């Protein structure tokens, strides 16, 4: 949009700890908030950071800091204040009364970006559900903030007409959205079960937003997933097939990016989408190795995976964007490596991709169970199933039966064992 039409905003944060490290963390968090604000369509005209032991229960920031922000807003022509935390409805109302500015918190900002980016019906339903749940939790005390009309951050999305709804109306809308999402989730579950019935290994590609997940999948699978150098370019999971050197196929599933302070409303609303992570056989965790906060971002993803119940899954870590690093910076990446295997790549240039494919093949092989069995000749039909859902390493025809050494998926191993034990 033209610069004159952009919503000018001041971003503000709070740090409770002293010291250079805490200050640096808070400043970098504001940098991320600025990126989010710009992604939502705002121009960041100024920023403010306050150090205090705890947020003010009434106004989040102290009144003195808010007066300072008000003066800055008048001088800069800013009309919006974006706070780097989740605010209560009463805090938003009080800040607006004190400053005369429209107040957006980090949660609502992220919801607004999702509202802009959601393209599929499922994505739009999920975003609206998260928006309605956010509004419902702030219905008491938010006052005029819920009745905003017109353009700008916080007024977009499928739920726009519900901004003036009362609690009963919002609850009815939430119920409608949940029913619609349940239908969509059923179809998604059918698709997932179809993949599982084919017994193809699935790898969920996860990571912090804008780590390069979609670009990496495109490079590996020669696919055409949307890739943009911006936060939350991917909201809808997409599955792409990768054929490994041993001709075994695996499915790579692109997922929505994670971020610090990811709104719990989004986690709840996107539950069926995030099940792609919990239902996957293994995880490929993509990190932006060029980001100074890569270690913090790794920890954020780890925490969210644990919350989803996927923290214990087999994992491969990929340090992406190494083309942006010099030799000395690359040598300092050891702090990002964990217990799991780590590969350094550039999805943009292709550097390291052959080694990554080899690592994915090893990860895939580890998900198969070795079997050494004698198959009766009247059970020879199982050979084709073993070939389809595993890998035969050796086969020998003997008087006792067909001696087979192979590696098979767990879904095949147990019925195969039962069949053999029937003898």
Q: What tens digit of pLDDT does each residue of 32-85 get?
A: 999 999 989 999 999 999 999 899 999 999 999 999 999 999 999 999 999 999
Phi and psi angles of residue 330, each rounded to the nearest 5 degrees, phi first: -65, -35
Of 83, 63, 64, 66, the C-alpha closest to 9 is: 83
CB 282 within 8 A of CB 363: yes
Of 111, 119, 101, the C-alpha closest to 135 is: 111
CA within 13 Å, CB half, 55:
15
**Highest-scoring range by mean pLDDT, 223-227, 293-297, 385-389:** 293-297
Give me the percent of the chain exceeding a pLDDT of 90: 41
Quote the distance between the C-alpha of residue 141 and its chain's center: 31
Lowest mean pLDDT among 153-162, 176-185, 385-394: 153-162
pLDDT at 363 over 50: yes
Please compute the mean of the pLDDT values over residues 171-198 and round it to a whole number.
80
Count CB atoms within 10 A of the CB of residue 354. 11
* Domains of the chain (ranges, CATH numbers): 1-199 (3.40.50.11060), 200-366 (3.40.50.300), 369-421 (no CATH)
**Six token digits for residue 120:** 């599929």
CB 382 within 8 A of CB 400: no
What pLDDT is recorded for position 264? 80
pLDDT 10s digits, 140-158: 545 444 444 445 665 555 5
pLDDT at 279 over 80: yes
CB 363 within 8 A of CB 203: yes
What pLDDT is recorded for position 372? 87
**CA of 214: how far to CAs of 81, 120, 143, 170, 207, in Å?**
32, 17, 41, 35, 10
Give me the percent of the chain exceeding a pLDDT of 70: 86
Please compute the mean of the pLDDT values over residues 188-199 and round it to a whole number.
69
Q: What is the arrangement of strands in the sheet containing 42-51, beginning at the earlier edge strand?
A: 42-51, 7-15, 80-83, 102-105
Lowest mean pLDDT among 227-241, 310-324, 379-393: 227-241
Q: What is the arrangement of strands in the sheet containing 341-344, beginning at the earlier edge strand?
A: 238-243, 249-254, 201-207, 282-288, 315-320, 341-344
Angle 27-88-117 from CA coordinates, rounded to 5°: 65
What pLDDT is recorded for position 237? 73
Count CB atoms within 10 A of the CB of residue 385. 14
Of 285, 286, 292, the C-alpha closest to 325 is: 292
Entry field: residues in the chain: 423
What pLDDT is recorded for position 215? 92
Beta bridge partners of 258: 208
Phi and psi angles of residue 321, each rounded to the nearest 5 degrees, phi first: 65, 35
Question: What CA–CA distance (Å, rounded) separates 421 from 303?
Answer: 43
Question: What CA–CA distance (Å, rounded) separates 95 from 55?
Answer: 13
Its pTM stands at: 0.78
What pLDDT is recorded for position 290? 93
pLDDT at 407 over 60: yes
> Whole-number mean pLDDT of the chain?
84
Question: What CA–CA distance (Å, rounded) separates 304 from 258?
Answer: 8
Residues 6+ apart with CB under 8 A from 22: 15
Residues 6+ apart with CB under 8 A from 287: 207, 208, 211, 294, 297, 298, 317, 318, 319, 320, 336
Residue that the structure tokens 């102290």 belong to: 62
CB 276 within 8 A of CB 192: yes
């Amino acid at each position: 949009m033209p610069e004159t039409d952009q919503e000018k905003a001041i971003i503000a944060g709070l740090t409770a700890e002293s010291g250079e490290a805490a200050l640096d963390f808070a400043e970098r968090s504001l940098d991320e908030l600025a990126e989010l604000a710009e992604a939502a369509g705002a121009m960041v005209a100024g920023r403010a950071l306050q150090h205090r032991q705890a947020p003010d229960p009434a106004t989040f920031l102290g009144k003195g800091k808010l007066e300072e922000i008000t003066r800055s807003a008048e001088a800069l022509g800013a009309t919006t204040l974006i706070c780097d935390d989740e605010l209560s409805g009463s805090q938003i109302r009080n800040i607006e009364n004190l400053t005369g500015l429209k107040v957006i918190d980090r949660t609502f900002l992220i919801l607004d970006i999702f509202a802009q980016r959601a393209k599929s019906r499922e994505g739009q339903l999920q975003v609206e559900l998260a928006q309605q749940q956010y509004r419902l939790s702030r219905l008491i005390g938010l006052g005029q903030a819920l009745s905003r009309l017109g353009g700008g951050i916080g007024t977009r999305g499928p739920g726009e007409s519900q901004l003036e709804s009362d609690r009963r109306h919002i609850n009815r809308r939430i119920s409608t959205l949940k029913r619609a999402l349940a239908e969509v989730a059923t179809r998604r579950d059918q698709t997932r079960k179809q993949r599982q019935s084919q017994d193809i290994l699935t790898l969920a590609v996860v990571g912090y937003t804008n780590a390069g997940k979609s670009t990496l999948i495109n490079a590996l699978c020669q696919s055409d997933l949307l890739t943009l150098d911006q936060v939350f370019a991917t909201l809808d999971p997409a599955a792409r097939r990768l054929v490994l050197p041993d001709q075994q196929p695996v499915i790579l599933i692109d997922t929505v990016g994670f971020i610090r302070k990811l709104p719990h409303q989004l986690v709840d609303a996107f539950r069926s989408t995030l099940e792609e992570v919990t239902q996957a056989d293994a995880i490929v965790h993509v990190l932006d190795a060029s980001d100074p906060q890569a270690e913090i971002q790794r920890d954020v993803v780890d925490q969210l995976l644990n919350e989803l119940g996927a923290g214990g899954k087999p994992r491969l870590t990929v340090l992406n964007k190494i083309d942006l690093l010099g030799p000395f910076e690359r040598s300092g990446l050891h702090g990002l490596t964990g217990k799991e295997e780590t590969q350094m790549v550039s999805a943009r240039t292709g550097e390291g991709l052959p080694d990554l494919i080899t690592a994915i093949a090893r990860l895939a092989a580890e998900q198969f169970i070795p079997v050494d069995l004698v198959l009766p000749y009247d059970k020879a039909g199982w050979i084709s199933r073993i070939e389809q859902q595993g890998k035969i390493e050796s086969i020998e025809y003997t008087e006792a039966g067909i001696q087979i050494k192979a590696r098979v998926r767990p879904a095949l191993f147990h019925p195969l064992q039962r069949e053999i034990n029937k003898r």
